[in-house]
Chains A and B, each alone.
Chain A
Amino acid sequence: MSLVAALIAHPLGRLSLQSLPFWQMLQDPSKDNLINGCIATTAAAIVVIGAVVLVALITRYRKWRVLWSEWLTSADHKKIGIMYVVLALVMLARALIEAWLMRAQQAFGLHGGFLSPEHFSELFSTHGTIMIFFMAMPFLTGLINYVMPLQIGARDVSFPVLNSVSLGLTAAGAALVMISLVVGKFSTGGWFGYPPYTEASFNPGEGPDYWIWALTLSSLGSTFTGINFAVTIYKERAPGMWLRRMPLFTWTALCTSILMIFAMPPLTVATAQLALDRYLHFHFFTNGMGGNLMHFANLFWLFGHPEVYILILPAFGVYSEVVSTFSTKALFGYRSLVLATMGIAVLSFTVWLHHFFTMGQNVDINAYFGIASMLIGIPTGVKVYDWMWTMFRGRVRFTVPMIYSIGFILLFVLGGMSGIILANPSVDYQVHNTVFLVAHFHNVAVPGVLFGMIAGYHFWFPKAFGFRLDERWGKLSAWCWIWGFMLAFFPLYGLGLEGLPRRSVAYTERAYVPMEIVAFIGAFLVIAALAALLVQLWVSVRDRDRNRVTAGDPWDGRSLEWATSAPPPEYNFAQLPVVTERDAFTVAKEQGTAYRAARRYVDIEVPRHSALGPIIAAVGFAAAFGLTWHIWWLVLAATLALIGAMIVRGFARDLEKSIPAWQVQAEQEAWLQSVAATASVTRAQEASAANRGLARHEEIAGVIP
């Protein structure tokens, strides 16, 4: 068959009516099919109706132009950061609902439950994939994007349009996972998709392909993000912002970006090789013909272990900022914290084998990797102690971010302990792949990563939007998260020790039921926490005038991002700051040099908007969708469009626009005037409407240093 004929023989590839979520239940309306079909169709309907409503609202309020020119094509790190966080929150909502469904199924799982095994296995696969790649990664990327350039006194990241492209790739991957609710089924192989289960011989359908291409898009986006952040921190720091004067959040951003640069390639290789196996009948991981599934395990976890440190290090950075700010005290042990961060980053590449101690390798190898895994506990412990000593002889304020931080310290330690237990091969041989393992990684991911992200969201929201979030709903959400997490996951430690494997849709031991019920109650609390978070946002927007903090410093912050208006201007600083010490903004406040007008105003170059990001997103999504469904003409067209877009971009010449000096001066002076007219507040009034973003820093003057 000629190439052209092959391309257009099946214009819809392997899409068919079977791909619709309700088709099976219509063909064969058994009780099982009806239950599962209704759940699947409801999910698909939410996606479709949600998209339609969104389009309708944007059209109704005539926001298309604004959406395109101010947001989607923006190369401003602040806008890109906000869009990343929005993406993360949307995907968080989906993945939490999936978690609740799984807990519900297992609560009723004695002898069956209501979900079919296939549906359950799709749920655990999407839940894990979304939480790691499309919730946690975008969340931390968004926070770093927003905050890091401000913290180092820069105007933007080094490669602003590449930043937009990274966002586009990540969004395309998320869109692929969302569209899998509407057409076809997602992979059932879990978030790490071990072959040969995910090979074409065992799972020829579209599921593993959805997974492969969603991960590929996401990992490419993250690789570029890592490059962008690392170069920015090395090259764009303000004068005097030496590496040892950078805030801890920026240090963790640097180590995270280096991890991204080095850890994403193994994932790209593993998924690409699996794709070659599936599409072109290669034999990387097949059972026979020289394939070896152990290579996949090694490649995947060479990525996978540094990945979890990519997730946790920015959260550690947030906690460093939050604990020092809300202890009204300098961060204790700066040098140790930096060394510990670097140590964690380096060690994270030396432990990957602990994910498969039970794969039959030599006992000395297992023991070595076990000891290496425990070594990471050392710098992590140092960090926890340094945060505790930061509170010592400070003045601790129990704001929402601080509640998350204290909850983190207490709960994360337990997760670290279960990690050290698992690092022992002889114990791991018992609890590997049981829900004990599930409890461990949620114990480090939820109080560790997620609490950190939410704390960061609360901490920097006023900077990004100019008004504070509602404290009461925030505290309610935090309590629901803390108790919900404990109820949902501590029982799993016990269940794992009693032999319940992970990914079990059902079980036959009556002994498991009580703990499953407790876990289910926890899941309700977690959904309540999510709801409280959404209500908080709605209430805060409603009350935004009451909670405005345009002066820009609602928490008496210590680093440079607090030295700008809220929200900051597009160019961040009217005049780039000159840094002389750590905690640059606190030093400026104490020396009385904060809120000074610039000596000289100059024209400022900022990057022009570019459509490259959204184009790459659309083209990337099209290529991935085409590959998943074998719509070859679409793959070809998208690839050509991708190459074309990059070539056209190469011809672009006018890449920056100039903001005239008079405009910068006008904006700066307007802000300084509003600061002068603002009443400063003590920390006691921090959560009240009196807080307009100006801190009365004198309250600590004259105190024993």
Chain B
Amino acid sequence: MSQPVARHPGLNLGGAHGSTDAAAERLMFGFWVFLMSDAILFGMVFASYVTSLDARAGGPGPHDLYDIRSVFIETLLLLCSSFTFGMASLALKYQHSTRRLVGWLGVTLLLGMGFLGLEIHDFLSMIAKGGSASRSGFLSAFFDLVPLHGAHVTAGCIWLVCLVAQIARFGVDHWVKLGILRLALFWHFLDIIWIAIFSVVYLAGLT
């Protein structure tokens, strides 16, 4: 039995998917490159945050504002959603039923929206405690970094809904498969960024 050709890092669809597998090489490579530029973008905003830690201008700081329990639940939600998306990706690769694929995607969406809901709640309570972005340079940097990640997650959720709509319209066709592959990368990338946020912003801020 011949070795399957891995055309790009990450989950490859394999020979059973024919031309989709071949077309994925260029598209996935391009998407990896896009993620690299997005990583630099986040890197710059992380750098802004870290160099603004002392810029509290007498206002509230991490100990006054961060709710580690809520953040921990958000982390679990997002990590789970990466797992469920992984299950969706496997359902795609091994050509399980469309219902199973959409099911896993739906669970991912719910977990993602749960994450966003909790996060928005966190922001609102921070602002209620006087920790709004216009209070200090430190809070400006916080509200650049964490909502930037949240905006990316929101975009991912919208993209997910669109892919499900495309499945309803076209079935799991060539472009839907390529879309799911890219959204999977995007979703896992956001998970990694969240782990960095959890560590650098919340854990480091509260120790």
Contact = CB atoms under 8 A, between A and B. Distances in A.
Interface of A: 158-159, 223, 226-228, 230-231, 234-236, 261-262, 264-266, 268-269, 272-273, 276-277, 280-284, 286, 288-292, 295, 299, 302, 643, 647, 650-651, 653
B186 interface: no
B136 A283 contact: yes
Contacts of B25: 235
Contacts of B162: 647, 650
Given A230-B33, A261-B37, A269 B57 contact: no
Contacts of B137: 283-284, 286, 289-292
A290 B57 contact: yes
Given A231-B33, A282-B133, A647-B162, A158 B26 contact: yes
Interface in B151-182: 158, 162-163, 165-166, 169-170, 173, 175, 179
B20 interface: no
Contact of B136 (A227, A234, A266, A289): A289
Contacts of A158: 26, 30
Interface in B21-61: 25-26, 29-30, 33-34, 36-38, 40-41, 43-45, 48, 51-52, 55-57, 59
Contact of A291 (B38, B55, B59): B55
A290 B163 CA distance: 43
B134 A283 contact: yes
Contacts of B17: none
Given A284-B48, A289-B137, A273 B144 contact: yes
14 contacts: A158-B26, A159-B30, A227-B33, A234-B29, A269-B41, A282-B140, A289-B134, A290-B56, A292-B55, A295-B51, A295-B52, A299-B48, A650-B163, A650-B175
B44 A269 contact: yes
Nearest to B33: A227
B187 interface: no
Q: What 4 A-B pairs are tightest by C-beta distance, nearest first?
A: A290-B137, A290-B55, A282-B140, A265-B41
B141 interface: yes
Given A265-B44, A276-B144, A292-B52, A231 B30 contact: yes
Interface residues of B, number: 42
B57 A288 contact: yes
Contacts of B198: none
A280 B166 CA distance: 37
B139 to A, nearest CB: 8
Interface of B: 25-26, 29-30, 33-34, 36-38, 40-41, 43-45, 48, 51-52, 55-57, 59, 133-141, 143-144, 158, 162-163, 165-166, 169-170, 173, 175, 179
B57 A283 contact: yes
Contact of B37 (A227, A280, A281, A289): A227
> Which of the listed residues B26, B59, B163, B173 has the most CB atoms from chain A within 10 Å of its own CB?
B26
Contacts of A302: 44
A231 B26 CA distance: 7
A264 B144 contact: no
Contacts of A292: 51-52, 55, 137
A390 B142 CA distance: 55
A295 B48 contact: yes
A159 B48 CA distance: 33
A299 to B, nearest CB: 6
> Which of the listed residues B26, B48, B134, B140 has the most CB atoms from chain A within 10 Å of its own CB?
B140
A124 B203 CA distance: 47
A236 B26 CA distance: 9
Nearest to B42: A265
B33 A290 contact: no
Nearest to A299: B44
A227 B166 contact: no
> Which of the listed residues A159, A282, A284, A286 has the most CB atoms from chain B within 10 Å of its own CB?
A282
Contacts of B134: 280-283, 289
A222 to B, nearest CB: 11
Contacts of A288: 57
A299 B34 CA distance: 20
A669 B45 CA distance: 57
A299 B48 CA distance: 9
A262 B34 CA distance: 10
A236 to B, nearest CB: 8
Contacts of A284: 48, 137, 140-141, 144
B140 A290 contact: yes
Contacts of A290: 52, 55-57, 59, 136-138, 140
Given A282-B133, A288-B57, 9 more contacts: A158-B30, A223-B37, A265-B40, A273-B140, A282-B134, A283-B134, A284-B48, A289-B134, A290-B136
A228 B26 CA distance: 10
Given A227-B30, A647-B162, A282 B41 contact: no
Given A235-B25, A290-B138, A227 B34 contact: yes
A284 B48 CA distance: 9
A283 B40 CA distance: 22
A231 B33 CA distance: 8
A683 to B, nearest CB: 40
B147 to A, nearest CB: 10
Given A158-B26, A231-B30, A284-B48, A289 B135 contact: yes
Contact of A282 (B33, B36, B57, B143): B143
B166 A650 contact: yes
Nearest to A228: B30
A651 B52 contact: no
Nearest to A643: B158
Contacts of B41: 265, 268-269
A89 to B, nearest CB: 29
A286 B55 CA distance: 12
B170 A262 contact: no
A227 B27 CA distance: 11
A262 B179 contact: no
Contacts of A651: 165-166, 169
> Which of the listed residues A236, A264, A288, A651 has the most CB atoms from chain B within 10 Å of its own CB?
A651
B33 A283 contact: no
Contacts of B51: 292, 295
Nearest to B25: A235
Contacts of B36: 261-262
B22 to A, nearest CB: 11
